[in-house]
Structure 1
Amino acid sequence: MPDFSHLNTLLVEPVISQLSGLFDLNGRVGVVFLLLSYAVAYGLFRLRKRRGLTKAPSFWQFLGGHRVHFHRSALLDYRYYLVRGILNVALLVPIVGAVDPYILRSGDCLAFFTNLWGARPRVDENLSLSLLYGLGVFLVSDFKNYWVHRAFHSRWLWAFHKVHHSAAVLVPMTASRVHFVEKLAANLAGTILLGAYAGSFWYVCGGEIGAYTLFGVTWLIFIFNALAVSLRHSHVWLSFGPLVEHVLNSPAQHQIHHSDAPRHFDKNFGINLSLWDWIFGTLYVTRSTPEALRFGSGERGDEGYTSIYSLIVTPFVTTARKLRNTGGAQGLGQGTSQAPHS
């Protein structure tokens, strides 16, 4: 009898794990948050229908209908979501495992400060302290996400992030249309920064503190994921208004980020908070009236990202060509006639 255990480990188990991830509250692509988002979308549909602000004959059409959800770009997103499970096992896990021994974690930082300044008296853990610690975890993580996202819009990393921006239509599963190189960079940056933050916080408190959670998820992450997170990758316009959008990132703001119009390039890098965009000059606020948008990277070459193979391999090919011809006129930033973005 042939031994299929290796095949099962590399293919079957990762795909099953990805499918089960749809019920994981730690991720943004999940059934619970999708249902919450569509509940909000249905409320918007009824409101706009009553006010005559939408021509959609049904809620399904309001969401985009077959034109969006069965577009070849959307179908590619569905397939790529499953393949990402295989990539995680085949590539991410081995790479992270090889790098992991060289990364300072929270325990290492705690030990460093203890050796440097001596042990501190233990502070009794309470709800307020757990909430505060969770707030810090959220802020550090969101700050990290802003800068990793912005970095991948730069000249040398854009080819990998273009995988995400090449989507011609937005569906909730587009959130998972991320190249594994970008995912690896985000994971490593998060491990380093959150390790430093946790170690510092624990040292001040004289020992480990746990973050308060809701249903096993850090409380602020759960709250923000519940705020119609799935509508960010959709064709449903939901603006929080100029005032709120200086702090909180709305679905409309992220749709602006996916726009192929040059006036929208390099705007709204924030994931949960638009506060970082406001501080660092990349903020674009929206209003209740929808803007006419077309999605894509805003440059020629999106047609080269229409298969699983191209989503994985094309960024490496593009970057290699760029390295061979660094003096050439073609850049990796958005826009065919623009200089690469910063």
Structure 2
Amino acid sequence: NIPDTVGYATPAHFGHVIKTLRERVPNIDQAVISVHCHNDLGLAVANSLAAVEAGAGQIECTINGIGERAGNCSLEEVVMALRTRHDYYGVDTGVNTPRLVPTSRLVSSVTGMSVQRNKAIVGRNAFAHEAGIHQDGMLKERSTYEIMRPEDVGFTQTDLVLGKHSGRAALADRAKALGFHLSGEQLDQVFNAFKKLADKKKEVYDGDIVALIEQDNTTVSDQWQLESYEVHATTAGSPQATITLSRGSERQTATVAEGDGPLDALFHAIEEITGVAVVVRDFRVQSASRGKDAQGESIIEAEYNGQLVRGRGVSTDTVEAAVRAFLNAVNRVATGQVTDPKVRPEAL
């Protein structure tokens, strides 16, 4: 194993190291040279490719390039570089590349680390062409501006948009195309959420479906559920929030007139009912699809007694999405689904 532990190497230098090892170490052909590159200078993929060119037989890499500090060599990037430029490198990885995007989404969902829109291979904009000359070229000949196809890495292209008249079969088929294989019970749960969403939105896009499925996967059973909330806030004075939660046959309502804004007041109200107080360390809301009625996907990272807990919530109302994410985190605390801070994403 040959590591670039602090990401200091450059491609020419790292390739020379591998080449020198192959030339000077006796019986080197009886071993597989493995490289482990960090991305501190943004060169992890380039260094790994240089190592392969020089004779390395294994690359240590990670989905979405996650890892310590600036991360490690990105699996999806190095795999597609080797595949797309097979004419140059002449090696095969055996990776099932149409699974790259679904796997990237899964890792992002589990870790709570969003994939940047312009990330190579798996970012939302990876195959977007906005310039007029590019669009014209794409219409005439795709290969002019597209060195690989979206479907090669797992992006699905379809003109099918689901709506309130779409049935379970259509939803199941779309979920499968997006890389999700749902059991009968899972499909029932997601379909119920889908119908509620379709009543609010005229068109339901792939991003909406992914968000619904991931939201369902993060639901903690037999814990507090959101029934309703009401919040009043002005630029003068403290906000007032009233929230009602249920757990089985139990139903509780709390009103709180404190907090730094409406969300903070709602969070305090949840803590008052559940008896669980967490410290929010990171909070973000992102669009799950397109359009002004797009779902908001909220992700909260919080701390409880020095341990890490994450929550996720989805709704066409961004406030509700945040409330659901916070409640999801609180429920995870109640069921012991917390993580040692030593393995939080930024420390990977």
TM value normalised by structure 2: 0.28
Task: Kindly indicate whether structure 1 or structure 2 has the higher relative contact order, using CA contacts under 8 Å at least 6 residues apart.
Answer: 1
More strand by share: 2
More helix by share: 1
Q: Which protein shows a greater Rg? A: 2
